[in-house]
């Protein structure tokens, strides 16, 4: 491994922390010490320490020094894949079946609840995602036409509105709620399940700045779908 020096310094200190050689709260050598230890300039050491600080492994305080961070309240990265991609990757055929497409006038309770634009019209789209013609998930989506006027012209007979939005509309904030619910009669009918069957329920809202773009509620067939979240060195095969 021919790592650049700052990477080498970073990884050595990281290893010390992860293996417990350096314990949370303890102080690291100063940049000046490390610079002598590795025989390099302060900038190089600083780069290594900054990277560690960026990763949350250490905390740097002026005048005081650098300290191993205490284990934080942790969060993980949740991949939100495009359903079409995911299904195709499984070797199945993807299809989106549009079941409803309406314009919702502003001011209705439905529009208000979605937390989207108070003023403009909303486009409501309902449909089912099918893998080899078997329902995998159904969704009910509201899109602010004020934020995405082009949306009104899209047909979505076959293409999913989620994929289209992902490609064409940039967003800056999103929030996803994940729960487990029993299939209602409506959902059960769409997913060809029995009423009361467990469904993974995902509700997502996205914004650009403070402007709401879309809200979507999806019910996944519980037995056929799961989400995965990760923390740490991404996409590493277990055991390498």
Partner DNA sequence: TCGTCAATTATGTCTATACATTATCGGCGA
Partner DNA sequence: TCGCCGATAATGTATAGACATAATTGACGA
**Binding interface with a copy of itself (CB under 8 A):** 17-20, 24, 54, 71, 73-82, 85, 115, 166-167, 170-182, 196-201, 207-210, 220, 222-223, 225-234, 236, 238-240
Residue 65 CB, nearest approach to DNA (Å): 4
Question: Quick check: 44 binds DNA (CB under 7 A)?
Answer: yes
Distance CA 123, CA 153 (A): 11
Tell which residue, 169, 105, 172, 159, has the closest CA to residue 129. Answer: 159
Stretch that binds DNA, among 36-44, 100-108, 196-204, 209-217 (CB under 7 A): 36-44
Q: Which is nearer to DNA, 60 or 101 (CB)?
A: 60
Name the one residue in this structure whose structure tokens are 């309770």.
Answer: 109
Q: Which is nearer to DNA, 49 or 145 (CB)?
A: 49
Distance CA 4, CA 203 (A): 44
Residue 77 CB, nearest approach to DNA (Å): 22
Question: What 8-state DSSP symbol labels residue 70?
Answer: P
Count of other CB atoms within 10 angstroms of residue 236? 9
- 138 in Cβ contact with 127 (< 8 Å): yes
Chain residues in the site for DNA (CB under 7 A): 4-7, 28, 30-32, 39-44, 46-47, 49-50, 53, 60-66
């Amino acid at each position: 491994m021919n790592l650049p020096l700052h990477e080498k310094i970073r990884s050595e200190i990281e290893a010390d922390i992860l293996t417990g050689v350096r314990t949370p709260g303890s102080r690291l050598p100063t940049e000046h010490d490390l610079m002598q230890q590795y025989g390099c300039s302060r900038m190089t050491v600083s780069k290594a320490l900054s990277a560690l600080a960026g990763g949350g492994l250490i905390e740097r305080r002026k005048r005081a020094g650098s300290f191993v961070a205490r284990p934080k309240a942790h969060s993980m990265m949740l991949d939100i894949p495009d359903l079409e991609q995911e299904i195709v990757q499984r070797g199945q055929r993807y299809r989106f079946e549009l079941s409803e497409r309406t314009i919702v006038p502003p001011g209705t309770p439905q529009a208000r609840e979605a937390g989207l634009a108070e003023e403009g019209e909303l486009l409501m789209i309902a449909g089912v995602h099918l893998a080899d013609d078997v329902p995998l998930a159904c969704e009910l989506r509201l899109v602010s036409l004020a934020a995405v006027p082009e949306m009104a012209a899209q047909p979505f007979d076959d293409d999913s509105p989620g994929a289209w939005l992902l490609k064409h509309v940039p967003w800056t904030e999103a929030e996803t709620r994940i729960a487990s619910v029993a299939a209602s009669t409506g959902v059960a009918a769409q997913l060809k399940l029995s009423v009361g069957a467990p469904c993974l329920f995902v509700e997502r809202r996205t914004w650009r700045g403070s402007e709401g773009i879309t809200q979507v509620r999806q019910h996944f067939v519980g037995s056929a779908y799961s989400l995965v979240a990760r923390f740490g060195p991404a996409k590493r095969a277990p055991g390498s």
